[in-house]
Chain A
């Protein structure tokens, strides 16, 4: 499994764009990059997934450079309710084993 490195914490203000970068230098060819969000005392919630270039959905964008050794989760115009832990996960989804391996994540705190 590819090891991921992301900042322990980040602070932002309401209305700002937040970019959280994750490093995964030993990502394998079959690996996808997935981001989850977790609020206190709740289960993780899927945000976005990608393999290369850019993926966008209604809540976030995911930027993946050509070498795929890092990825950036972009949250546009954050609000107080976006305060949560954000996890970057890297893994092969093609096999029967689909366990998710969570790291320590990035605690994002959105300030008023």
Chain B
């Protein structure tokens, strides 16, 4: 069964450093998403991406965040200057269209 993959599974970084979280969506999917979940809290939408551009973004997705689809398979989330409060699980998801979104296993980001 096809699945969304994410790397790394755990990323530890110093405050102020840049991090790039990587995702490989399901190959025939057209819509890509990033969500995050701070420990013990709700899953929060960050951004959706379609046709090589951002479709929608939340208030969380400020100028420190960016997304890119550098090639035909990868979908990345970059945080330019990490803050302590960026520590969370980051989930990538993809969908073929309307309906089910398939989530990856997540990257646990720890900012020290």
Residues of chain B lying within 8 A (CB to CB) of residue A103: 42
Bound-complex Cα distance A98 to B31 (A): 9
CB distance A42 to B101 under 8 Å? Answer: no
- Tell me the count of chain B residues lying within 8 A, CB to CB, of chain A: 27
A49-B100, A98-B101, A102-B43 known; A43+B48 contact, CB < 8 A: no
Contacts of B43 in A (CB 8 A): 38, 44, 87, 100, 102
Given contacts A96-B50, A99-B33, contact A49 B99 (CB under 8 A): yes
Residues of B within 8 A of A102 (CB): 42-44
B10–chain A nearest beta-carbon distance, Å: 10
Cβ A100 vs Cβ B105 within 8 A: no
Question: What is the chain B residue whose CB lies nearest that of A49?
Answer: B99
Which residues of chain B from 85 to 108 have any CB-CB distance to chain A below 8 Å in the complex?
A: 89, 91, 93, 95, 98-106, 108
B103 contact set on A, CB distance < 8 A: 43-45
Instruction: Output the least CB separation between A74 and chain B (Å).
Output: 19
How far in angstroms is the closest Cβ of chain B from A104?
Answer: 6
User: What's the Cα separation between A43 and B104 when bound, in Å?
Assistant: 6
Is A29 interfacial (CB 8 A cutoff)? no
Q: Which of B44, B100, B108 has the most CB of A within 10 A?
A: B100
Closest approach, in angstroms, between the C-beta of A20 and any C-beta of chain B? 17
Cβ proximity bits A57-92 to B, threshold 8 Å, 1 near / 0 not: 000000000000000000000000000000100000
B35 on interface, CB distance cutoff 8 Å: yes
A92 to chain B, nearest CB (A): 10
> Which residue of chain A has its CB nearest to the CB of B47?
A99
B52 at the interface (CB under 8 A from A): no
Cβ contact within 8 Å between B42 and A100: no
B78 to chain A, nearest CB (A): 20
Identity of the chain B residue whose Cβ is nearest the Cβ of A93 in the assembled complex: B98
Q: Closest CB of chain B to A38's CB: distance in Å?
A: 7
Interface residues, chain A, CB within 8 Å of chain B? 38, 41-46, 49, 87, 93-94, 96-105
10 A–B contacts from the bound complex (CB under 8 Å): A42-B105, A43-B106, A44-B43, A45-B103, A97-B48, A98-B101, A99-B58, A100-B45, A102-B42, A103-B42
